[in-house]
């Protein structure tokens, strides 16, 4: 029986919800404050949370943020129950991590429909999680080396997939609920949020597919067939500058490029540079320089991405490949922690080399060396 937790400082509102859902096969729980609800999550084990926005001491948006900050409760859909009408307030609900919202006074048909929709998403997550566990248990030959990888991936992958998915679903729900009353600017803003979530999901999917492709072919131990790609400021700068602009750091990006024809596909090269610069943007402060430079060596092009930022310890560098994002609890960055491992795999499979030089809490330089294609090659 699905468990529904209602968080509302007014007991009468719970009575209304209980009446509206009395013919549904749900197990209803009630918490009179956000603090009580958070402390009782392990007791209630909710599948969906109905959360009132306007509450004293701790409002619903803060309660939502705190629940979504706890990994074990991130997959549980939260429906915000609100009397707020402005698009800004509703957008704040979605940005806090909520998957959906419903306006007061609550309509019984709409309430049942939204709960049913969220329970279906939660069930899909549970099915994926069960399938993931079954698959993980079947991998016996890699048990000794993949224990840590599997644990970290299982903990982060569902959230990383669900977050952009909920962003798309929530934004579309907002548009469908009030499209007739929105002006063009509001519609564009919401479509922009949906587009951002869709691009994040697409980027993650591409990483997973390439990682799987490389992993499945590892036992063959073959070098990727040489492909010619021009490494030049004209080729690499525009997408990286666009990435920096998206986080208001276009002035921080600097280039010092020696050009060469390198043995790697344009797709792989673009993914490598995107990942390295994206990491540098995440793990350094606005106003500090991020430098992308390259130097032609003997048969190789040495590419460096340097930032003055968080840095890495020797232990963290040694764990690249475990699908682990370091100090995630402290810094709350998005991602699976698979990016550097993927870069390393691609570079090595192209016949290149990958290395990291870092001073913890000070700076990091990532160096990739790519084979240069000669006239004969």
155 and 252 housed in the same domain: no
Q: Write down which residue in 190, 216, 242 finishes a domain.
A: 216
How many domains, the chain? 2
pLDDT at 158: 60
Asked whether the beta carbons of 316 and 340 are under 8 A apart, the reply is no
For helices 87-95 and 60-68, the axis angle rounded to 10 degrees is: 20
Inside any domain, residue 324: yes
pLDDT at 145: 42
pTM, two decimal places: 0.48
pLDDT at 335: 41
Q: Which stretches of the chain drop beneath a pLDDT of 50?
A: 141-142, 144-150, 152, 219-223, 322-336, 376-377
Q: Is 331 exposed, middle or buried (0-12, 13-18, 19+ CB in 10 A)?
A: exposed
Q: Which of 188, 184, 178, 190 is nearest to 85 (CA)?
A: 178
349 and 264 housed in the same domain: yes
Inside any domain, residue 376: no
**Domain harbouring 84, CATH code:** 3.40.50.2300
Asked whether the beta carbons of 269 and 301 are under 8 A apart, the reply is no
Domain extent, residue 333, equals 228-371
Residues 6+ apart with CB under 8 A from 127: none
The 3-class SS string of the chain reads CCEEEEECCCHHHHHHHHHHCCCCCCEEEEECCHHHHHHCHHHHCCCEEEEECCCCCCCHHHHHHHHHCCHHHCCCCEEEEECCCCHHHHHHHHHCCCCEEEECCCCHHHHHHHHHHHHHHHHHHHHHHHHHHHHHHHCCCCHHHHHHHHHHHHHHHHHHHHHHHHHHHHHHHHHHHHHHHCCHHHHHHHHHHHHHHHHHHHHHHHHHHHHHHHHHCHHHCCCCCCCEEEECHHHHHHHHHHHHHCCCCHHHEEEECCCEEEECCHHHHHHHHHHHHHHHHHCECCCCCEEEEEEECCCEEEEEEEECECCCCHHHHHCCCCCCCCCHHHHCCCCCCCHHHHHHHHHHHCCCEEEEEEECCCEEEEEEEEEECCCCC
Inside any domain, residue 223: no
179 and 254 housed in the same domain: no
Give 152-199 pLDDT, tens digit per residue.
455 555 656 677 777 788 788 888 877 888 888 888 888 888 887 787
**Domain harbouring 274, CATH code:** 3.30.565.10
The 3-class SS string of 2-18 reads CEEEEECCCHHHHHHHH
Give 331-350 pLDDT, tens digit per residue.
444 443 557 878 888 898 88
49 and 75 housed in the same domain: yes
pLDDT at 224: 52
193 and 312 housed in the same domain: no
197 and 280 housed in the same domain: no
199 and 247 housed in the same domain: no
166 and 92 housed in the same domain: yes
Q: Write down which residue in 216, 247, 266 finishes a domain.
A: 216
185 and 246 housed in the same domain: no
């Amino acid at each position: 029986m699905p468990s529904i937790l209602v968080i509302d400082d007014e007991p009468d509102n719970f009575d209304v919800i209980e009446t509206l859902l009395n013919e549904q096969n749900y197990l209803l729980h009630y918490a009179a404050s956000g603090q009580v609800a958070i402390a009782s999550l392990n007791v209630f084990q909710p599948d969906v949370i109905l959360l009132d926005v306007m509450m004293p001491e701790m409002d619903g948006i803060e309660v939502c943020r705190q629940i979504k900050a706890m990994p074990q409760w991130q997959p549980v859909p939260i429906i915000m129950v609100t009397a707020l009408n402005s698009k800004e307030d509703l957008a704040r609900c979605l940005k806090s991590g909520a998957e959906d919202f419903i306006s007061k006074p609550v309509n019984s048909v709409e309430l049942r429909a939204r709960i049913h929709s969220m329970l279906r998403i939660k069930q899909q997550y549970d099915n994926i999680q069960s399938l993931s566990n079954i698959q993980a248990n079947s991998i016996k030959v890699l048990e000794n080396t993949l224990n840590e990888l599997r644990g970290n991936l299982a903990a982060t992958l569902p959230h990383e997939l669900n977050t952009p998915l909920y962003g798309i679903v929530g934004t579309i729900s907002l548009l469908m609920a009030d499209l007739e009353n929105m002006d063009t600017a509001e519609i564009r803003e919401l479509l922009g949020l949906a587009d951002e979530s869709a691009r994040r999901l697409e980027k993650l999917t591409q990483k997973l597919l390439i990682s799987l492709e490389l992993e499945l072919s590892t036992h063959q131990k073959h070098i990727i067939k040489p492909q010619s790609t021009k490494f030049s400021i004209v080729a690499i700068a525009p997408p990286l500058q666009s990435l920096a602009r998206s986080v208001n750091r276009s002035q921080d990006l600097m280039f010092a490029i020696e050009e060469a024809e390198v043995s790697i596909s344009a797709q792989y090269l673009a993914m490598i540079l995107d990942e390295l610069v994206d990491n540098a943007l995440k793990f350094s402060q606005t106003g500090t320089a991020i430098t992308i430079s390259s130097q032609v060596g003997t048969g190789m092009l040495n590419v460096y991405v340097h930032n003055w930022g968080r840095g890495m310890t020797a232990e963290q560098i040694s764990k690249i490949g475990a699908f682990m994002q370091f100090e995630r609890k402290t810094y709350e960055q998005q991602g699976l922690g698979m990016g550097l491992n993927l870069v390393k795999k691609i570079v090595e499979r192209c016949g290149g080399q990958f290395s990291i030089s870092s001073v913890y809490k000070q700076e990091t330089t990532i160096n990739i060396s790519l084979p240069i294609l000669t006239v004969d090659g």
